[in-house]
């Protein structure tokens, strides 16, 4: 309040000083206006001396110049003989213009004397008359300025009295403010300072008018709410700290420099320390095993850039130097004001047991791979060894069949020997497929001719008494019948699919269709048998899976057929017929320009 009083007093004095300064400048203008009389007399004297031959024309011009400069100075303001003048006020413009017009008349009369030989008496009378008018108008301007100055002086006295009264009123008002307003406000200010220091037990006394009482009530209510919120926050923080300290998994909190600022009991125990104080203030890198140091530093820099750490696998180091694997996941903490990353809370999952289990699993997988390799080698050897005795059996059985045409026993021997050969070949093919050594040798071949031959062979093997017929439809144009295939392998595919259709069709028709779709040949074999069991639909083309759970056989035919087609760049699939009877097996083969 004292500051406000000082400002008001200073403003009053400044305003008075300004008004007095303006009056002083106005007085200077009056003096300059009065100076016109003196300069006019000086100019008349120089003119008389010129006419008497005692002065030069330049002396007359100089006197005129001084008079003109004084008149212009009166209008425009400026510096003159160490005195500062303000520009003439607009209300005196007409008076000044009269002075200036009289000066122009006076100057013309003087110039008339100095420019041509004059009539001394007549010219001098004209000059004196013009000079008198100039002096009169200058006196009139000075008089007007003087009258205005006196009026302003009276106004200044009145203003000083008013400002004095204002100062008294200000003092009275200040006293009122101090008694009625400032004292309660100071009380609230002091209480605010206490709250800022953390003292929430303060209470403001209610005094003053209604507004101040309401303000005190609001302040006390605010402090009470703050007291309750602080208590709730304290309780919540204690609960959080207890949960943090007692959490079963290790937790640590770090700042942006990687310094540990807090940790829980599980973290202390996992590292082999006795108490938390042995850990706080240390760097996270002191607890990082050597084999993970580079990865940990890279992860730390990445966290500072992105604020993200999730399931990061590293090795940590205990107090005794032993290392153990962990998984780190961090929740970043940001400054609420600036948004800068200031730290993180990190949960650490000890993966020692998972690591041991993973190592055991890797060892078991390695053993399985060794066993699988031994199995493949055994199957390969067994298949070769199986074919070795079968070959002479087939040769001898074929000779016996020629000699004993009516003996069905020879045909049984021959049929089963060939079946064993096919089984051995299938086993060898599976081994090649799984070892990625299976290859096809593609050449241009007529697919329709191959299909007709396969149909003829399959028809010949239909058991007696079966009413099954195999037919070919949709025969292609001659130029569309060729495809790039391994003829032997494609015969194997067709034989497997046709044999499969015959085995599952007690009676009815097996239809083979072939057509061109774009650049592919599309082959379908559709039967009217029992169809595909839904339980094996998705795994039909896997090893050792047959078309029906009741079917007999190795379950390798469809697996090999699909692998052969895919080795040619085609596709194979199967689906039950929409009629509800039988199934259709289809495959595609790319033809390409070299097939024609």
For the chain, list residues with pLDDT below 70: 1-37, 80-85, 116-123, 134, 141, 144-145, 152, 156, 176-183, 206-210, 212, 372, 375-387, 405-406, 414, 418, 478, 546-553, 592-596
Let me know whether 296 and 368 are in one domain. Answer: no
Q: Are 456 and 418 in contact (CB under 8 A)?
A: no
**What is residue 16's predicted lDDT score, i.e. its pLDDT?**
47
Spatial separation of the C-alpha atoms in residues 47 and 68, rounded to whole Å: 16
CATH of the domain at 505: 3.30.565.10
Let me know whether 150 and 251 are in one domain. Answer: no
Q: Does any domain span residue 411?
A: yes
* Token digits of residue 19: 């008004």
Let me know whether 312 and 332 are in one domain. Answer: yes
Let me know whether 433 and 447 are in one domain. Answer: no
Q: How many CB atoms lie within 10 A of CB 75?
A: 17
Let me know whether 25 and 133 are in one domain. Answer: yes
Spatial neighbors of 485 by CB under 8 A, at least 6 apart, are 440, 442, 443, 445, 447, 450, 568, 589
pTM above 0.95, yes or no: no
Query: 550 — alpha (psi -120 to 50), left (phi > 0) or beta?
Result: alpha
CATH of the domain at 372: 1.10.287
Let me know whether 97 and 112 are in one domain. Answer: yes
**What is residue 595's predicted lDDT score, i.e. its pLDDT?**
47
Q: Are 67 and 43 in contact (CB under 8 A)?
A: yes
Let me know whether 328 and 369 are in one domain. Answer: no
Determine the structural domain holding residue 411 and report its residue range: 352-437
Element (H, E) at 302: helix 293-306
Spatial separation of the C-alpha atoms in residues 198 and 521, rounded to whole Å: 88
Let me know whether 251 and 345 are in one domain. Answer: yes
- C-alpha to C-alpha distances, 443 to 258, 414, 475, 485, 587, nearest whole angstrom: 68, 32, 21, 5, 18
Let me know whether 9 and 21 are in one domain. Answer: yes
Spatial separation of the C-alpha atoms in residues 17 and 464, rounded to whole Å: 139
Spatial neighbors of 179 by CB under 8 A, at least 6 apart, are none
Residue located via tokens 């059985």: 397
Spatial neighbors of 456 by CB under 8 A, at least 6 apart, are none
The pLDDT tens digits for 71-124 are 777 777 777 666 666 777 777 778 778 777 877 887 777 777 777 655 556 667
Spatial separation of the C-alpha atoms in residues 475 and 514, rounded to whole Å: 7
CB crowding 324-334: b at 16 or more within 10 Å, else e: ebbebebebbe
Half-sphere exposure of 569 (CA within 13 A, CB side): 13
Q: Does any domain span residue 316?
A: yes
Query: 145 — alpha (psi -120 to 50), left (phi > 0) or beta?
Result: alpha
Handedness of CA 278, 284, 286, 290 (dihedral sign): positive
**What is residue 380's predicted lDDT score, i.e. its pLDDT?**
66
Provide the H-helix boundaries in 178-258.
183-196, 210-246
* Token digits of residue 556: 């390798």
Between strands 251-255 and 341-350, the pairing is: antiparallel
Name the burial class of residue 522, with classes exposed (0-12), middle (13-18) and buried (19+) by CB atoms within 10 angstroms of its CB. Answer: middle
- C-alpha to C-alpha distances, 220 to 209, 216, 478, nearest whole angstrom: 17, 6, 104
CATH of the domain at 156: 1.20.120.1730
Spatial neighbors of 36 by CB under 8 A, at least 6 apart, are 67, 70, 71, 74, 99, 134, 135, 138, 141, 142
Let me know whether 159 and 264 are in one domain. Answer: no
**What is residue 244's predicted lDDT score, i.e. its pLDDT?**
80
Spatial separation of the C-alpha atoms in residues 421 and 555, rounded to whole Å: 16
Q: Does any domain span residue 407?
A: yes
Phi (first) and psi of residue 196, to 5 degrees: -60, -30
Q: How many CB atoms lie within 10 A of CB 437?
A: 8
Domain boundary among the residues 437, 453, 475 is at 437
Spatial separation of the C-alpha atoms in residues 135 and 342, rounded to whole Å: 87
Q: Does any domain span residue 176?
A: no
**What is residue 594's predicted lDDT score, i.e. its pLDDT?**
53
The pLDDT tens digits for 206-239 are 666 667 677 777 877 887 888 888 778 877 777 7
How many domains would you assign to the chain? Answer: 4
Let me know whether 19 and 144 are in one domain. Answer: yes
**What is residue 174's predicted lDDT score, i.e. its pLDDT?**
72
Q: Does any domain span residue 184?
A: no
Q: Could you write out the three-class secondary structure of 352-390?
A: HHHHHHHHHHHHHHHHHHHHHHHHHHHHHHHHHHHHHHH
Q: Does any domain span residue 221?
A: no
Spatial separation of the C-alpha atoms in residues 541 and 536, rounded to whole Å: 9
- C-alpha to C-alpha distances, 95 to 34, 99, 141, 428, nearest whole angstrom: 14, 7, 6, 132
Q: Does any domain span residue 202?
A: no
**What is residue 569's predicted lDDT score, i.e. its pLDDT?**
93
* Token digits of residue 70: 């004084």
Domain boundary among the residues 350, 365, 395 is at 350
Domain boundary among the residues 136, 171, 206 is at 171
Element (H, E) at 331: strand 323-334
Q: Give the residue from 202, 149, 171 showing the smallest Cα distance to 19.
A: 149
CATH of the domain at 270: 3.30.450.20
DSSP codes of every residue in 499-562 = HHHHHT-SEEEEEEEEEEETTEEEEEEE--SS---GGGGGGTTSTT--SSTT--S-S-HHHHHH
Q: Does any domain span residue 240?
A: no
Q: What's the whole-number average pLDDT of the chain?
A: 80
Let me know whether 555 and 427 are in one domain. Answer: no
Q: Are 138 and 22 in contact (CB under 8 A)?
A: no
């Amino acid at each position: 309040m004292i500051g406000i009083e000082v400002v008001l007093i200073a403003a009053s004095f400044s305003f008075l000083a300004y008004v007095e300064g303006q009056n002083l400048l106005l007085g200077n203008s009056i003096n300059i206006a009065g100076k016109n009389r003196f300069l006019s007399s000086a100019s008349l004297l120089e003119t008389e001396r010129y006419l008497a031959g005692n002065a030069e024309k330049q002396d007359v011009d100089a006197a005129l110049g001084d008079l003109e400069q004084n008149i212009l100075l009166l209008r425009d303001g400026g510096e003159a003989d160490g005195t500062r003048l303000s520009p003439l006020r607009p209300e005196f413009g007409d008076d000044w213009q009269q002075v200036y017009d009289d000066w122009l008349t006076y100057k013309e009369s003087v110039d008339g004397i100095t420019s041509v030989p004059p009539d001394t008496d007549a010219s001098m009378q004209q000059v004196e008359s013009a000079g008198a008018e100039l002096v009169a108008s200058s006196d009139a301007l000075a008089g007007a300025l003087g009258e205005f100055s006196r009026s302003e002086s009276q106004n200044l006295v009145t203003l000083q009295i008013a400002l004095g009264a204002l100062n008294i009123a200000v003092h009275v008002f200040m006293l009122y403010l101090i008694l009625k307003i400032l004292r309660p406000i100071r009380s609230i200010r002091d209480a605010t300072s206490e709250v800022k220091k953390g003292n929430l037990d303060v209470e403001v006394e209610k005094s003053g008018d209604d507004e101040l009482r309401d303000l005190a009530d609001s302040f006390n209510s605010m402090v009470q709410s703050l007291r309750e919120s602080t208590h709730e926050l304290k309780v919540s923080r204690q609960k959080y700290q207890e949960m943090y300290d007692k959490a079963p998994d290790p937790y640590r909190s770090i700042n942006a420099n990687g310094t540990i600022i807090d940790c829980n009991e599980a973290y202390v125990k996992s590292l082999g320390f006795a108490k938390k104080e042995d850990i706080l203030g240390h760097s996270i890198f002191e607890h990082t095993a050597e084999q993970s140091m580079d990865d940990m530093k890279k992860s730390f820099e990445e966290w500072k850039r992105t604020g993200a750490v999730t399931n990061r696998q590293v090795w940590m180091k205990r107090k005794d130097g032993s290392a153990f694997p962990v998984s780190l996941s961090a929740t970043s903490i940001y400054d609420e004001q600036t948004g800068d990353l200031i730290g993180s809370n990190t949960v650490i999952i000890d993966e020692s047991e998972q690591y041991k289990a993973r190592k055991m699993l890797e060892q078991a997988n390695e053993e399985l791979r060794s066993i699988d390799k031994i199995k493949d080698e055994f199957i390969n050897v067994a298949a070769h060894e199986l074919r070795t005795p079968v070959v002479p059996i087939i040769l001898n059985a074929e000779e016996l069949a020629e000699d004993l045409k009516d003996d069905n026993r020879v045909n049984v021997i021959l049929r089963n020997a060939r079946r064993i050969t096919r089984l051995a070949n299938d086993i060898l093919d599976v081994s090649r497929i799984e070892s990625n050594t299976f290859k096809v040798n593609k050449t241009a071949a007529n697919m329709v001719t191959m299909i007709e031959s396969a149909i003829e062979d399959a028809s010949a093997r239909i058991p007696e008494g079966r009413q099954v017929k195999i037919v070919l439809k949709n025969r292609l144009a001659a130029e569309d019948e060729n495809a790039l295939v391994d003829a032997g392998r494609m015969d194997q595919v067709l034989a497997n699919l046709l044999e499969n259709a015959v085995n599952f069709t007690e009676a009815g028709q097996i239809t083979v269709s072939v057509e061109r779709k774009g650049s592919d040949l599309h082959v379908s074999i559709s039967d009217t048998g029992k169809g595909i069991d839904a339980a094996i639909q998705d795994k039909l083309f896997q090893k050792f899976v047959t078309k029906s759970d009741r079917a007999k056989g190795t379950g390798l035919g469809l697996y090999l057929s699909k692998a052969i087609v895919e080795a040619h760049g085609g596709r194979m699939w199967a689906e039950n017929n929409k009629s509800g009877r039988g199934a259709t097996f289809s495959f595609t083969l790319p033809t390409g320009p070299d097939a024609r």
